Structure 1
Amino acid sequence: MTIKVVFCWSDISGYMAACWLALHKLPEVDVFVVAFQARTETAFSDQLMQGIPCRLLDIQERQDTNLIKRLVLAESPDVLVLCGWLHKPYRQLAFTSEFHETGLIMTMDTPWWGTWKQHLASWFLRSYLQRINSVVVAGERSWQYASRLGIQPANIARGVYGIDYDAWSPLWEKRIQSEWPRSFLFVGRYVPIKGVDVLVKAYQIYRSQVSHPWNLVCCGQGALESKLEGQPGIENRGFLQPTEMSQVWQSAGAFILPSRFDPWPLALIEAAAAGLPIICTDTCGSAVEVIRPWYNGLIIPQEDPTALAQAMLTLHQEYAELSIWGKRSQQLAAPYAANIWVRRWQQIIHNTYQANTVKKNPSKLVNEQLN
């Protein structure tokens, strides 16, 4: 039996494309993706979705509730995956009568911070969450939030995201074939929430403390790009497609993510898979899963240029250990490989379909098992 699953997603990305493609190759699962075309700040190529049955929505279409409903109805899904609750046209699908017989999965990566808005969320989202069969969270912090929303632990699974681990893992071996690079790397949007301004200040402090400072390579684009220009030692590569990034990752000696807020940044997972030591702030949700202080990286407070500069200095001084730290990073990233993601999601989809079938029509499941 083949289960038809439709993902209603936000922006496309290289990591999710790799996961969807791997899932699409399974004969037991028929995949279709409705997603946004890339935003200006990321500008991922639509070619990332090559080989994946999909419909990408432009800026106007993504707000068209009737269009989205028609697109999903045309696929007749057994299981429908909705990314969170923020995008109203997706959220409204849970209340569409045509999908009352469809298994519903909600994904979330928002961490629990205990804000008053989060305390009220279970009340505002009650009717929506009551229609959801399963919730898949990114990591431990979002598991805590899902639990506080009233989702039963038996209906919460971990592992929203995965990466193309096989594309990243050879980079450590290539890196150690010569002298380990003496450089820092930042990959992300050039926006305040990513702490780009903090990064520039910290790098200036770091440069003042050593006689032979490492370069800082930055890849991305955004409103704060001007802060990188004309800064000694900072090299702005701009936004690069995933296929253009391999040499950049290989040439890096350590990765930095100084975010002010980052629910579950995949950049940390990719950096770890690439075999890099990592510096990040404690607001980066995925640090819980892939960073172990003084084992493969360092975790610092947000908005603290002095602490970030000290972390950069520490890696500079621990240069002889960086290849070891990088290898440890790969071990922590390995569970997020696309092939593992597929096995995880195949089980989640199957369990959701089965539980929903039993709930709606017990005799249907019995007949399918007999056949």
Structure 2
Amino acid sequence: MFDVAVIGAGIAGLTVAQQLHQAGYKVVVVDKSRGVGGRVATRRLQGTCADHGLRYLEPQGQLIEKFIDVLRVKQSDFEGNRGILQVWTNPVYEWEPAKLNSSSILPRYVAPMGMNAIAKFLVTGLEMRLNQRVQEITPTDEKAWHLTFEQTDKLTAKAVVVAIPAPQALMLLEPLAKTIPTEFLDSLRTVEFDPCLSVMAGYPASRQQDLSNVETGNLRLQPDVTRDSDLAWIGLDSSKRPNPQMPLFVLQSTAEFAKRYLDAEDLNPAASQMLSRAAQLLIPWLDSPEWFQIHRWRYAFPSRPLDRDCLDAGTPLPLICCGDWCGGNLVEGAMNSGLAAAVKINQQMEMRSLPGESFLEALA
């Protein structure tokens, strides 16, 4: 028996879990994936890594500024105890007609070990159950929620926080239609997401020299009069790593492009088209990688978020939904939603003292 079960190990789920864990509640976090972070994702491949989800952090918002400060001080075991986050010195460029303009106004922070290092930091001290897909949530006669997994494992908790994209939360919670209010499910139904495809492509080490003569850094294609229909981002991801041995680019598609391939069994044609377009826009040899992989983000960016910081089912047994789709997207929104969900759960349980924003310093 746990006090709280948190479904989803993304930034929102880990934030609410840390809040309640540091307040003394017995908390467990479950996630269907092998790792933590959700869309704060890093893939290990070909002797290096690539950030195919969150690209970097910007100090926009009080909470995210504090998070960045803590992560810059917090030490890791990488390359002589560097901080988890470092300033990414390469500028970011925006595409305008026939030229690239630098838009490097705020510093961008990246993790040399991969952006999911920031999620691993938030896991500190938490009880985790990974590779566990929740199949069913049911109330029990003992005034608790019973979670059933695809495997044989089961657990019970006095309260549940569902910290996954709203459409996934809806699929999980719709069978409880007789238990939870219709208005709650209707609110979940209003949330919409844009998809995205991410291509990770590696190139021969000999191309590293080519890049020294090309001022690319990272290219963000902004939606203006020359908006590209296929690509939203081209990034030299290997520039985040110390002493890269080979160029590694990450390309992210527009939502319109991703929608055309959303249910395709084979995404390789989409990857080839994205690489071809990158070659036309930036460097001719980008369409000829040594290897590439592609990832489909079905719920990449909230296009129609909920106008509140979390969603309370109002049931006798506490049940709260939260995520970056509550009140706004990106990491700041996810963390604020997690803080709000923790407050709601605490109000319905033992009214303990929560750490609030200071939970980050406690982890450091």
- Shared fold, TM over 0.5: no
Relative CO higher for 1 or 2, CA cutoff 8 Å, sep ≥ 6? 2
| Structure ranking higher in helix proportion | 1
TM-score by length of 2: 0.33
| Structure ranking higher in strand proportion | 2
